[in-house]
Amino acid sequence: MSFRSATPKTGDFLEVRSSGGWVPLSYVERSESLYLLASGNNARWCSHILRSGTAEMRKGGSISWCRAFLETDRSLRDSIIEEFRSKYGTVDFNHWFEKPGRLIRLQLAQNASMARQDNYFSWLESEFDSVSVEYDRHITGNSINMLLRERSLWLMGQTFHRGSSLLEIGCGSGMETIPMLREGHDIVALDISSSMLDIVRNKAKQEGLSSSLTTVKMRAGELHRLLETYSPGTFDGCYSTYGALNCEPTLKPIPETLHSLIGRDGKFVAGIFNKFCLAECLGYALSFRPGRALRRLRNPIKEGNSRFCVDVYSYTLATFSDLFACYFSPARVLGVPVLMPPSDLDSYVSKISGRFKLLNSLDLWFAGKWPFYGLGDHFLISMSRRNAAEPAIA
């Protein structure tokens, strides 16, 4: 089946059912697909259909079911956007799409059951593919995001001996991978996004570090698959910071697998999105938005409430430590940041820019002290491998 071709006209719309009802949308048709363009990055209809991979569409009075995909090809995206501009005119296009967001491709399905798919991890992969080119700019353009990386690299420098064989779970664009390669480590880097892995490999090649890097397309929850390639005790340590572990619906299988992959006396460093953030609670409470202050208490925290482009799962320090307690014992914990606002509270971040160095030093002093290490935006924890799986010592 295909969508019937029609000469594009201004005012030519279709509707997609979202959580709030039917949403009228402009569209472009090409071959067997329809393309929808979101205005900005916070459109709820967009997240609604991408999360399920399914769209119920109404066009010309008839309702159809479609499969929905996030289009990540940059050249195709640019081409389709120009078709939107041509179809609806520059004035209307600029009014509706001042900041073009995600491009959604719809493919017609015979019925609702054929449209439905197990889409969560496909959606996760496509979201990270789509932001990969801009990811470094997202990190380097925000002082708090840079602070997170500086703290994690500092802790890893304290934890891993130079020249270690390390496993990285969720390497992203290599903001930590490349500095760790420069320190002489051999790294096997995992990520769910092929585009992110391409970027990491290109960075390593440009710096002459490719011989020390192996990349594997794999999400954190698939870690057991590494045991098909690497023997037990292959790695001196592992790290996973600010993302990959918080994207998994469950972490229960991971500690045992890590225990197998890491050798005797090995270390594990994790950077985890915290369930309780003191600065965020105070910031939203003072701005009379208590609902936002408590948003982390629900799991998963849905995209749009999580401040990330995907759903995330938050953990308290106690809960996360308990998950690993039979296989790893905690050695050091830091809250990151503790006193300064999270990266998404832009207005507060800009206000502290002139005193950032002083506040950073003060924040670091509190970061490792009780109870502040458990009240940061994230917490960083270094853990030592137990030499045998055993009950945690009370």
d(CA 75, CA 57): 26
Instruction: Tell me the whole-structure pTM to 2 decimals.
Output: 0.84
List, for residues 33-62, the tens digit of each pLDDT value. 999 999 877 788 888 888 888 889 998 888
| Nearest residue to 213 (alpha-carbon basis) of 192, 193, 243, 183 | 183
List, for residues 198-255, the tens digit of each pLDDT value. 999 999 999 999 999 999 999 999 999 999 999 999 999 999 999 999 999 999 999 9
| Nearest residue to 187 (alpha-carbon basis) of 175, 203, 171 | 171
Looking at residue 282, its pLDDT comes to: 85
Q: Do 377 and 315 meet the contact criterion of CB atoms below 8 Å apart? A: no
Looking at residue 9, its pLDDT comes to: 44
d(CA 301, CA 308): 10
CATH numbers and ranges of domains, the chain: 13-117 (2.30.110.10), 135-385 (3.40.50.150)
d(CA 324, CA 392): 9
Strands 186-191 vs 213-217: parallel, antiparallel or unpaired? parallel
In tens digits, the chain (394 residues) has pLDDT values of 334 333 334 468 899 998 778 999 999 999 889 999 998 777 888 888 888 888 899 988 888 888 899 998 889 999 999 999 999 999 999 999 988 989 999 988 866 554 455 678 888 999 899 889 889 998 998 889 999 999 999 999 999 999 999 999 999 999 999 999 999 999 999 999 999 999 999 999 999 999 999 999 999 999 999 999 999 999 999 999 999 999 999 999 999 999 999 999 999 999 999 999 998 888 777 777 777 778 888 888 887 677 777 889 999 999 999 999 999 999 999 999 998 888 877 666 667 777 888 888 999 999 999 999 999 999 999 999 998 755 544 4
Q: What are phi and psi of 110, to 5 degrees?
A: -65, -35
Q: Name the average pLDDT for the chain.
A: 88
**Helices 143-159 and 356-367, packing angle to 10 deg:** 40
d(CA 312, CA 170): 14
For residue 173 the two structure tokens come to 């664009």
Contacts 24+ apart (CB under 8 A), 283-288: 283/341, 283/345, 283/348
Q: Do 279 and 338 meet the contact criterion of CB atoms below 8 Å apart? A: yes
Looking at residue 382, its pLDDT comes to: 98
d(CA 260, CA 290): 43
Instruction: Give the C-alpha distances (Å, rounded to integers) separating 308 from 104, 221, 381.
Output: 18, 19, 22
Q: Which amino acid is at 20?
A: G
CA torsion, ordered 324, 192, 141, 80, to nearest 10 deg: -150
Q: Do 26 and 88 meet the contact criterion of CB atoms below 8 Å apart? A: yes
